[in-house]
Amino acid sequence: MSNIRAFAKSFFLPCIAILAGIILSGCGPSGAMVKVRSAEGDICVRATKGDENTTAAYLVLDNYDPSDTEWFLVGASSPQAGSVEIHTVVDGETEGTKTMQKVDRLSIPPQGSLVLAPRREHLMLFDASIELRADVTLNLTVESADGVQQQISATTQSRSICGLGE
Ligand SMILES: [Cu+2]
C-alpha cells in the first residue's frame, strides 16, 4: 500500500508542478489573455483639426482566455500624448445629451470583445506633442489586467473614416 502511495506521490507531484507552471505562464506576459485587433480598419485614431491637441482612438480588444474569465482594459499611454484616458459616454445633465466620463477600466467579457468606437467607449488622448493631422503615425501602448502591454501604431484618419461624420 505504502508503495502505491509513494508511486502516486512521485507521479502526481511533478504533474501538479507542471500544471501550476502552465497556469502561471498562462497569466504572464507570454500568454496574453487580451489582444488588440490589428488588421487594417480595426484601429482608428481621429486626426485633429485646427489647433486642437486632444483626440480619440478607437480599437477592439478580444478576450482569448479559454477559462471564461472576464478581463479588463486598465490603461493606455502614448509617447506622443501628455496623457491617455479611458472614457465612456453617459447621459448628460440635460435630457438627450451625452457626456464623456473617465473610467479606471473597461470590461472585456469572457470569450467576447470590447469595442471602442465613436459615441461610446474610447481612448482619449490629451496634450498631443505633435500635430495629429491625417496620416500621422501614432504609437499607443494598451495595458490589460493580465499585465500585458501591447504596442500598436496607427495612422490618424479623418473624422468620417473613423465613423464620426464630417
Ligand atoms: Cu473622451
The domain spans of the chain are 1-31, 34-157
Mode of pairing for the β-strands spanning 34-36 and 122-128: unpaired
DSSP state of 47: P
**Residues whose beta carbons lie less than 5 angstroms from ion ligand 1:** 87, 100, 124
Q: How far is the CA of 130 from the centre of ligand 1 (A)?
A: 19
**108 in Cβ contact with 70 (< 8 Å):** yes
Q: How far is the CA of 100 from the centre of ligand 1 (A)?
A: 5
Q: How far is the CA of 89 from the centre of ligand 1 (A)?
A: 8
Q: How far is the CA of 22 from the centre of ligand 1 (A)?
A: 39
Q: How far is the CA of 56 from the centre of ligand 1 (A)?
A: 6
Sequence-distant (≥ 6) Cβ neighbours of residue 32 within 8 angstroms: 64, 144, 146, 148, 150
Q: How far is the CA of 107 from the centre of ligand 1 (A)?
A: 17
How many alpha carbons lie under 13 Å from residue 27 in its C-beta half-sphere? 8
Q: How far is the CA of 59 from the centre of ligand 1 (A)?
A: 14
Q: What is the pLDDT of residue 157?
A: 92
Stretch 54-74: mean pLDDT, rounded? 95
Stretch 118-123: mean pLDDT, rounded? 95
Q: Please state the pTM of the whole predicted model.
A: 0.79
Task: Assign 70 to helix, strand or coil.
Answer: coil
Q: What is the pLDDT of residue 16?
A: 41
Q: What is the CATH number of domain 34-157?
A: 2.60.40.1890
> Where is pLDDT greater, at 154 or 4?
154
Sequence-distant (≥ 6) Cβ neighbours of residue 10 within 8 angstroms: none
**58 in Cβ contact with 113 (< 8 Å):** no
Q: How far is the CA of 57 from the centre of ligand 1 (A)?
A: 9
**123 in Cβ contact with 87 (< 8 Å):** yes
Q: How far is the CA of 123 from the centre of ligand 1 (A)?
A: 7
Over residues 33-52, the pLDDT tens digits come to 999 998 878 999 999 988 89
Q: How far is the CA of 65 from the centre of ligand 1 (A)?
A: 28
